[in-house]
Amino acid sequence: MSELDLGGLIRGSLDQKRFQNEHWQGTFQQYLDLLEQNPLIARTSHQRLYDMILSYGQDEVEIDKEKVPSYRFFKDPIEDGRDGVFGLERSLRDLVAMFKAAAHGFGPERRVLLLHGPVGSSKSTIVRLLKKGLEAYSRTPEGALYTFSWKVDGEEVASPMNEEPLLLLPKDARNKVLAHLQKKARTSYRFRQDFDLSPVSRYYVETLQKRYEGDFEKVLSHVVVKRLVISEKDRVGIGTFQPKDEKNQDSTELTGDVNYRRIAELGTDSDPRAFNFDGEFCVANRGIIEFIEVLKLDVAFLYDLLTASQEHKIKPKKFAQTDIDEVIIGHTNEPEYNRLQSNELMEAFRDRTIKIDVPYNLRLQNEVKIYEKDFCRKHVPGKQIAPHTLEIAAMWALLTRLEEPKKAHLTLLQKLKLYNGKMLPGYTRDNIRELRDEAPREGMGGISPRYIQDKISNVLVRDISCINPFMVLNELEDGLDHHSLISDPETKKRYKDLLLVVRNEYEEIIKNEVQRAISADEEAIARLCGNYIDNVKAYTQNEKVKNPYTGKDEEPDERLMRSIEEKISIPDSRKDDFRREIMNYIGALAVEGRTFHYKTNERLHRALELKLFEDQKDSIKLTSLVSTVVDKDTQEKIEIVKGRLMRDFGYDEISASDVLNYVASIFARGDAKGE
């Protein structure tokens, strides 16, 4: 018998109960009963979108001494982080603030939200997330919404614009229902359903009222209320409009067009049943409409946007203005936005637009997450990516986006590290805030994540088992000569110079790791630390140190102490202060009943590692790696170091050998400073 049982496969992948809930149908009275149970069903599109974002919860992050909300929704919990965005907390805070104000009816609900930023800054991803979130939310009990169809003379006609069933009620009755629901709902915003029915629904209301001589209950008996599930693929509640050739595009794509076959049946083109309300504005009703590269649209389309945003109305051909309830969001890049700003004829459109800047990310840890999302191990089977490969590529991308600091003696690389949360001597969080304030346009230019992703992909497809930062840096440099968005020779030269900065930084990182791997003998470090502390204690208390071999009292070993202190750049004039600082620290721990350990003092720990490395590197003969012959004893020691690189720093066999060979070549050139 086959293991692939058709019935079992279907039962395992489909939820029949959920299907029945999503396809619920009932009378208008049954719909009122549902509203009693869950008043939030009566929300507008802006209110529903705002609640959807909040339903995933939020955290709070501190950026430059400022508490900023971090909304979990934008990490894409729906598809396990596939479209998650990183490092845009401020932009997303501003966007959600606009949705909140719109939900309360404070004005943004009558504006076009415009995401503005450089190419590849996640504008489209943010909109894609919002659309995906609305789809998922509409399938939950909390996010449920409903529409209706007309059952007249054996024919069922769906509401062409997925209208809210409450719109069927006369305004007085509708307001009473909303007031009743408001008392039951725990919301800070007010329910509003101040829209009119579409021409088709108005036609059936008028026709049936005449038939039943004004008996509205009998009119509603022809109404079938249905659950509405938002779906972009099915063009329900989500519309997308993209500029095309002006000759092949007209405004009917937004508002719908005449159905000539129905005209032949009905005999007139003024009958609303002879009109297809299938334009993007119509299908997006109750949800969201996205305008891709909105400022590339022809002026005629922008006029449609004016009334759609400000008045919540569209103008179908041959019909009166028709109400819509939807979030209007567009995105554009900087050149197009600058053109809008300089066009006096577009003043009305500018006045109806709320711009949200979406710059490139400026924090290294967040930029690395962008690339890890695409190039983590599960997405790159059979390939090894050496440690720091993504980090170094991200570092270069960020350097191209940053502006040169105006503070003396602060390098661009140091500025990058400050932005990433690293504290440097002489710089506080207030200083970091000043750096951001003096460069308000930072992040609106530079290299996009797409370029980095493309170049990493180019290296990954090569017939090699492990890729390293040098391969990616070479690919990034080669690609600059053919980059379609970089034509200025000065900019190209600057970017290549920054590649050299990043290359040097990577060399320092791997030298540091090899040094730590060589000096990772904890017993040896502990012995060295004990020796140093004994000498410092004797020095600060004007005592002598007993030689463990001769048993004689000797003067503190100044040479030993200075050889350690110099490793962390303690000048001779500051040595007394540093030694007293160490003894005071040990004394404070003793008062608390705690024992001193070298790992509790990061600077001393680093100094001890560097001293031990200097003492041991010659015995390991690392430079012999660049020769053709390595003796057995040295090879064993090298294998120990390689094992530590793999254990402590995440290298694999190939990348650990590569790094050791490269660092060995540096030492062979005499470039081992140890700092």
User: Mapping DSSP to helix (H, G, I), strand (E, B) and coil, where does residue 381 land?
Assistant: coil
Say which residue the tokens 């629904």 belong to: 201
Structure tokens at 33: 């009963």
Average pLDDT for 128-142: 96
Q: Given this model, what pLDDT does residue 355 score?
A: 93
Compute the distance between CA of residue 457 and CA of residue 462 in angstroms, rounded to an integer: 9
* Residue percentage of the chain with pLDDT more than 70: 93
Of the ranges 33-37, 203-207, 287-291, 526-530, which one carries the lowest mean pLDDT score? 526-530
Average pLDDT for 424-428: 77
Structure tokens at 539: 């020095």
Q: Give kind and range of the element (H or E) at residue 71.
A: strand 66-71
Q: How many CA atoms lie within 13 A of 168 on its CB side?
A: 32
Residue whose C-alpha is closest to residue 375's, from 364, 362, 384, 363: 384
Q: Is the pLDDT of residue 169 over 70?
A: yes
Compute the distance between CA of residue 560 and CA of residue 555 in angstroms, rounded to an integer: 12
More confident residue, 663 or 476: 476
Q: Is the pLDDT of residue 626 over 50?
A: no
Going by pLDDT thresholds of 50, 70 and 90, the confidence category of residue 51 is very high
Question: What is the tens place of the pLDDT at every residue in 586-609?
Answer: 888 888 888 888 877 888 888 888
Q: Given this model, what pLDDT does residue 673 score?
A: 45
Going by pLDDT thresholds of 50, 70 and 90, the confidence category of residue 306 is confident
More confident residue, 293 or 124: 124
Structure tokens at 246: 């002006």
511, 666 Cβ separation under 8 angstroms: yes
Average pLDDT for 91-107: 96
Residue 157's DSSP bridge partners are 150
Q: Give kind and range of the element (H or E) at residue 67.
A: strand 66-71
Say which residue the tokens 């003696």 belong to: 409
Q: Is the pLDDT of residue 618 over 80?
A: no
Q: Given this model, what pLDDT does residue 1 score?
A: 42
Long-range contacts from 203-210, C-beta under 8 angstroms, 24+ separation? 203/271, 203/272, 203/273, 204/150, 204/152, 204/157, 205/168, 207/152, 208/152
Residues 6+ apart with CB under 8 A from 331: 114, 115, 116, 117, 123, 124, 127, 290, 291, 292, 293, 294, 358
Residue whose C-alpha is closest to residue 368's, from 323, 324, 408, 420: 420
Q: Given this model, what pLDDT does residue 133 score?
A: 97
Q: Is the pLDDT of residue 46 over 60?
A: yes
Other CB atoms within a 10 A radius of the CB of residue 400 amount to: 19
Average pLDDT for 285-296: 92
Compute the distance between CA of residue 513 and CA of residue 161 in angstroms, rounded to an integer: 63
Torsion of CA 223, 229, 235, 237, to 10 degrees: 80
Q: Given this model, what pLDDT does residue 440 score?
A: 87
Average pLDDT for 158-176: 95
Which conformational region is residue 81 in: left (phi greater than 0), alpha (psi within -120 to 50 degrees), or beta?
A: left
Q: Given this model, what pLDDT does residue 248 score?
A: 67
Average pLDDT for 645-662: 89
Query: What is the 3-state secondary structure of 524-585?
Result: HHHHHHHHHHHHHHHHHCCCCEECCCCCCEECCCHHHHHHHHHHHCCCHHHHHHHHHHHHHH
Q: Given this model, what pLDDT does residue 675 score?
A: 39
Q: If you write DSSP's letter for every residue of 96-129 in order, what string do you get?
A: HHHHHHHHTTSSGGGSEEEEE-STTSSHHHHHHH
Going by pLDDT thresholds of 50, 70 and 90, the confidence category of residue 58 is very high
Q: Given this model, what pLDDT does residue 527 score?
A: 86
Q: Is the pLDDT of residue 628 over 70?
A: no
Q: Given this model, what pLDDT does residue 660 score?
A: 86
Question: What is the tens place of the pLDDT at every residue in 403-417?
Answer: 999 887 899 999 999
Phi/psi of residue 554, nearest 5 degrees = -130, 165
Q: Given this model, what pLDDT does residue 672 score?
A: 42
Q: Given this model, what pLDDT does residue 433 score?
A: 84
Residue 330's DSSP bridge partners are 114, 291
Q: Given this model, what pLDDT does residue 204 score?
A: 96
Compute the distance between CA of residue 295 and CA of residue 339 in angstroms, rounded to an integer: 9
Q: Given this model, what pLDDT does residue 666 score?
A: 78
More confident residue, 500 or 266: 500
Question: What is the tens place of the pLDDT at every residue in 197-235?
Answer: 999 999 999 999 999 999 999 999 999 999 999 999 999
Long-range contacts from 579-588, C-beta under 8 angstroms, 24+ separation? 579/536, 579/539, 579/540, 580/540, 582/533, 582/536, 583/536, 583/537, 583/540, 586/533
Q: Give kind and range of the element (H or E) at residue 518.
A: helix 489-518
Compute the distance between CA of residue 498 and CA of residue 503 in angstroms, rounded to an integer: 9
Q: Is the pLDDT of residue 448 over 60?
A: yes
Q: How far is CA 531 from CA 10, 57, 535, 561, in A?
A: 72, 53, 6, 9
Mean of the per-residue pLDDT values for the chain? 88
Q: Helix axis angle, 389-401 relative to 489-518, nearest 10°?
A: 140
Q: Is the pLDDT of residue 190 over 60?
A: yes
Residues 6+ apart with CB under 8 A from 330: 112, 113, 114, 115, 290, 291, 292, 294, 295
Q: Is the pLDDT of residue 638 over 90?
A: no
Q: Given this model, what pLDDT does residue 447 score?
A: 94
Question: What is the tens place of the pLDDT at every residue in 361-393?
Answer: 999 999 999 999 888 765 577 788 999 999 999
Residue 71's DSSP bridge partners are 58
Average pLDDT for 120-126: 93
Q: Given this model, what pLDDT does residue 186 score?
A: 85
Q: Given this model, what pLDDT does residue 622 score?
A: 57
Q: Given this model, what pLDDT does residue 630 score?
A: 59
Compute the distance between CA of residue 646 and CA of residue 520 in angstroms, rounded to an integer: 13
Burial letters 367-398, b for 16+ CB under 10 A, else e:
bbbbbbbebeeeeeeebbbbbbbbbbbbbbbb
* Residue percentage of the chain with pLDDT more than 90: 53
Compute the distance between CA of residue 258 and CA of residue 609 in angstroms, rounded to an integer: 80
Q: Given this model, what pLDDT does residue 345 score?
A: 66
Of the ranges 23-32, 294-303, 349-358, 439-448, which one carries the lowest mean pLDDT score? 294-303
